[in-house]
Structure formats: C-alpha cells, structure tokens
Amino acid sequence: MASELSFEKPLIELRKKIEELKRFIDTEEIDFSDEIKELEKKAEKLEKEIYSSLTPWNKTQIARHPERPTTLQYIEHIFSDFIELHGDRQYGDDPAIVGGIAKFNGTPVTVIGHQKGRDTKENIRRNFGMPHPEGYRKALRLMYQADKFKRPIICFIDTAGAYPGVEAEERGQSEAIARNLREMASLKVPLICIVTGEGGSGGALALGIGNHIHMLENAIYSVISPEGAAALLWKDASMAEKAANTMKITSEDALEFGIIESIIPEPLGGAHKDIKLQSLEIKMAIEKSLKELQSLNEEQLVEQRYQKFRKIGKFISVL
C-alpha cells in the first residue's frame, strides 16, 4: 500500500502477520486458529488505540490522504441530479473549485466545493485544489444564483489554501476572497459548510461563511498550513509536525473555540475507509442543519450568521 501513513505501520505489520499465518494453515494443515483469534483481537485493540490517540499531525496526514474522498465524490453519494455549472463570467473557469445545482432529498440546492484531484494527472489539472481568484468568483456567482432562486447552499471545504502565484495576485485574490466573505454574510438563504479535509487559510474561508459549519473528525482548519507556520515562526518548514501540534487545528479545537456546530464522525482510520458510510454521516448533518435553518426567515438567517461570527475571538478587558 503506497498510501499507508507512518503511524499506521504497527497495525499494518500485524495484519500482514495474521495473513501469513492464515496462508500457513492452508498449506501445512496445522491448527493455528486460536493464535489467529488472539492476534486478531490484538489487531483490533491496536487499531482502536492508534485511531483514538491521533495527534493533530496524524489527523493532518489523514486529512491530506491521497485517497481522501473529494467534493465530487461526496456530491455523487449525497445529492441527486447534480448539474455542474462553470465559469466566473469574467475571466475563466477554475477547476480547483466545482459547483452546480442538485437535489438534496428532493429539495433544490446549490453545491460548491474545492476539488482536489483523485490522481496526479487530475491534481495537476485542478491545481491540487488550490483556487485562483476566478474560483472564488465562480463560487460567488453560483451563490448569488442560489440567493435569487431561494436555494440553500452547501459548501465543501478542502484546500491547502489560496494558490501563491503571480497571476493569482495580478487578478486580485485578496479582493476575491474579501468580497466572498462580505457577500456570503449577506445571503438570504441557509448556508451550510462542511470542512471535509484541509481547511487552509483564506482559500478555505472564502467558502466558509456558513450559518452552520461542520467538520469531519479528522479534518483540520487553520490560519496557515503547518509547513507555512513552521517556516514563518521557526524559519524551518520541517518543523511542520510541531506546528500542527501547537496551532490547535483539529475539529475538537474548532468546536471548543465556537467556530463549528458539530464534528461529523469518520469511520475508523478515516473517511477513505468507507466513503458510503462517510457520505451518510455528512448527509445526516446537512439534514439536521437544514431543518433547523429552514425555520428561520431571511432576516433571521442573515442575523444568525452575523452573530455566529460576531462572537468568535478571545480577549479580556482591563478596565
């Protein structure tokens, strides 16, 4: 397995041993079934141990797993009748963000999300899910459209961040992100955000002004990538692990800070182990949010969203 993570190694090795033992029985006709049972119990225990004591850095690795399900895969499992819509009507179509219209349990919705590639070729085409300004502008265009036709909006967030390139600066990525933040705050429809993998900085936030925000258990949400933080704070990108463990980037942290409404559980080992089950969990979270938010009128929706972000921050008064 090319995509095994370093902290999973003991488990993978134990599993290999069990397999070998099983093969041995088939050929040698010696009864090892008790030993195998014992080992399988041990493996199960080890699995629980490993995945229940993941460090923020381990979670970062899972969030970035090459087999981590992407927005289009979730859309396929959660929605019906998805029609992808393209382009920002100003410059181009950014493949790092996908969006369109679909039905959610029969209700028309607008779905938007960062799109990483599922292989190297697609990753290159989609710029590894790192948007250019036209991506944010496409997203905003689709959100205005949703607002016009009174469709709830669901955003899937999974990006390492905005693309640090010359053209992105020339075309005003600051302005594009900033405008999304302001305009999303004014939308009169329910807006639900799911951080599915990496919530990287401004590039993530540009799709992130939701009435409700949910995070997958192993997803991360951070002001800067662990590598970026390490380079900035300690002038050493190889300190990324330390940065990840310092900067409070996990779903538990976000919940504690009052940034997200809920943590969506993942199958043992991560979302990629069972995309169907993961999609179902996400679907349940969207259902719950939607039900709650649909009871609010337009004005209440805007105010609820405002108050949600208004409260975020930690400071003291020395009066």
Partner 1 sequence: MLKNFFHKKKRYATIPSERSKKDIPEGLIVKCNKCHKITFAKELEKNYHVCPHCDHHLTVSAPDRVRMVLDDGNFFEYDTDLISTDPLNFEGYINKLEKDMEKTNLNEAVVTGEGTIGGYPVVIGVMDSRFRMGSMGSVVGEKITRAIEKALVKQYPFILFSASGGARMQEGILSLMQMAKTSAALAKLHEKGILFISVLTNPTTGGVSASFASLGDINIAEPNALIGFAGRRIIEQTIRQKLPDDFQTSEFLLKHGQLDMIVHRKDMRKTLIKLIDIHQVKGGM
Q: Figure out which of the listed residues 205, 207, 219, 293 binds partner 1, where binding follows CB under 8 A.
A: 205
End-to-end CA distance of the chain: 59
Q: For Cα atoms 126, 129, 132, give the angle at the middle one, nearest 5 degrees.
A: 80
Shortest separation between residue 151's beta carbon and partner 1, angstroms: 20
Burial 215-240 (b: 16+ CB within 10 A, else e): bbbbbbbbbbbbbbbbbeeeeeeebb
Question: Residue 84, interface with partner 1 (CB under 8 A)?
Answer: no
Q: Choose which of 5, 72, 85, 233 interacts with partner 1 (CB under 8 A).
A: 233
* Residue 10 engages partner 1 in binding (rule: CB under 8 A): no
DSSP 230-276: HHHHHS-GGGHHHHHHHTT-BHHHHHHTT--SEEEP--TT-GGG-HH
Instruction: State which residue, 43 or 97, has the beta carbon closest to partner 1.
Output: 97
- CA dist list (Å): 314 to 9, 185, 261: 39, 21, 18
**What radius of gyration, in Å, describes the C-alpha atoms of the chain?**
22
Looking at 30-38, 64-72, 96-104, 223-231, which segment touches partner 1 (CB under 8 A)? Answer: 223-231
Contact with partner 1 (CB under 8 A) among 62, 75, 177, 207: 177
Stretch that binds partner 1, among 47-55, 88-96, 157-165, 279-287 (CB under 8 A): 157-165
How many residues make contact with partner 1 (CB under 8 A)? Answer: 54
Cα–Cα distances in angstroms (integers) from residue 138 to residues 164, 185, 189, 261, in the given order = 19, 17, 18, 27
Between β-strands 97-104 and 107-114, what pairing exists: parallel, antiparallel or unpaired? antiparallel
Among 7, 82, 91, 306, binds partner 1 (CB under 8 A): 306
CB of 112 to partner 1, least distance (A): 17
Binding window for partner 1 (CB under 8 A); candidates: 32-40, 56-64, 266-274, 309-317: 309-317
Q: Which of 15, 85, 188, 246 binds partner 1 (CB under 8 A)?
A: 246
Q: Of these, 1, 2, 30, 166, which contacts partner 1 (CB under 8 A)? A: 166
Give least dist CB 5 to partner 1, A: 23
Q: H or E segment at 187?
A: none
Query: How distant, in Å, are the alpha carbons of 35, 101, 138, 165, 169 from that of 131?
Result: 52, 20, 11, 10, 12
Among 186, 294, 297, 300, binds partner 1 (CB under 8 A): 186
Rounded CA-CA distance 258/6 in Å is: 32
**Segment near partner 1 (CB under 8 A); pick from 39-47, 48-56, 73-81, 254-262:** 254-262
Of 229, 271, 282, 285, the residue at the interface with partner 1 (CB under 8 A) is: 229
Contact in structure between 65 and 107 (CB atoms under 8 Å): no
Q: Which residues bind partner 1 (CB under 8 A)?
A: 162-166, 168-175, 177-179, 181-183, 185-186, 201-202, 205, 208-209, 221-224, 228-229, 232-233, 246-249, 253-254, 257, 259, 305-306, 309-310, 312-319
